[in-house]
Amino acid sequence: MAKAFKRNDGRKVDEMRPMEAKLGVVKSAEGSAMFKAGKTIAIAAVRGPREVVPAHKQRADRGLLRCTYDLLSFSVNDRKRPGPSRRSSEIGMVIENALLPAMDLSDWPYTSVDLYVYITQADAGTRCAGINAAALALADAGIPMKELVSAVAVGKVDGQVIVDIDKHEEDQGEFPTDIPVAMMPNSGKVTLLQLDGKITKDELNSALKLAEKSCKEIQEVQKQAIRAKYVSKEESK
Ligand code: UDP
């Protein structure tokens, strides 16, 4: 009989790591947020909309979203040289592309919304935690969005489709498959889909179903974080 799949931390296959979210963690920024899933922690801060420098990058028809992402050197167990890398530039672009479909920057020509996403603890799924924190930071900064974007990495480990893969799982099994997914959970629109590894069509479909269910759970945590800052402020007036 095949051995039942067991997760290292005892989670069910469709269970997220414990999540936390908080707005306003960088007081000097226009908007900011922290998002945590298990041991992965992302901080996002927004500056702007402000005039684009250099001027030749300005657009007359809309504002720009420019995202910087990086793992802080102390966020990982291995040595991590401080400063940007090919990986960090690629993930910055991935985060930008995951958020843009939810945004309308047509009211801010010549400006940019500069978004900074830094990972203070990395245990896999940092681009997804970064997107979750970034969507909250944009909301905190008052940037209009069609809806919040929520993200999670699903995948396949030892033949089992699971949600919210941690680093132990990512390094487990012969051919682990990692699929970061970002969604606008209410409209069901997928804004990011990456796939590292191999998976069958049926497995991919069940992985995406898990991602959809989890993104709805994540969005609830995000909404609670917004309520915790703004509704409690209203009530204390
Ligand atoms: N990682 C690391 N050092 C690095 C890059 C990544 O230890 O220089 C770890 C970290 O835990 C990260 C994980 O590998 O979360 C997976 O990285 P990946 O590039 O797949 O992106 P992520 O899953 O974080 O979005």
Average pLDDT, the chain: 95
Residue 1 has pLDDT above 70, yes or no: no
Kindly report the backbone phi and psi dihedral angles of residue 29, in degrees, each rounded to the nearest multiple of 5, phi listed first: -85, 160
- Higher pLDDT: 182 or 231? It is 182
Structural domain contains residue 153: yes
CA–CA gap between residue 139 and residue 147 (Å, rounded)? 9
Q: Is the CB of 78 under 6 A from ligand 1?
A: yes
pLDDT at 5: 81
DSSP assignment, residue 5?
A: P
Structural domain contains residue 12: no
Q: For position 128, which CATH number holds?
A: 3.30.230.70
Structural domain contains residue 215: yes
Q: pLDDT tens digits for 72-109?
A: 999 999 999 999 999 999 999 999 999 999 999 999 99
pLDDT at 3: 66
Structural domain contains residue 138: yes
Instruction: Give the torsion through C-alpha atoms of 181, 90, 116, 145, to 10 deg.
Output: -40
- Please tell me the total count of domains within the chain: 1
Structural domain contains residue 1: no
Question: Which of the four pLDDT bands, split at 50, 70 and 90, describes residue 4?
Answer: confident
Q: Which atom of ligand 1 is nearest to the CA of 122?
A: 11
Question: Which token pair is 111?
Answer: 């400006």
Question: Which of the four pLDDT bands, split at 50, 70 and 90, describes residue 45?
Answer: very high
Question: Which of the four pLDDT bands, split at 50, 70 and 90, describes residue 173?
Answer: confident
pLDDT at 175: 83
Q: Which atom of ligand 1 is nearest to the CA of 165?
A: 23
Structural domain contains residue 13: no
Q: pLDDT tens digits for 190-215?
A: 999 999 999 999 999 999 999 999 99
CA–CA gap between residue 33 and residue 80 (Å, rounded)? 24
Q: Is the CB of 123 under 6 A from ligand 1?
A: yes
Q: Is the CB of 126 under 6 A from ligand 1?
A: yes
Structural domain contains residue 231: yes
Structural domain contains residue 10: no
pLDDT at 2: 56
Determine contact, residues 50/105, Cβ cutoff 8 Å. Answer: no
Q: pLDDT tens digits for 135-169?
A: 999 999 999 999 999 999 999 999 999 999 999 99
Which residue has a Cα nearest atom 20 of ligand 1?
124
User: What range defines the domain where residue 135 resides?
Assistant: 19-236
Among 69, 76, 88, 181, say which to mutate for ligand 1: greatest number of ligand atoms within 8 Å of CB.
76
CA–CA gap between residue 17 and residue 81 (Å, rounded)? 28
Our CA angle for 69, 125, 77, nearest 5°, is 80
Q: pLDDT tens digits for 100-148?
A: 999 999 999 999 999 999 999 999 999 999 999 999 999 999 999 999 9
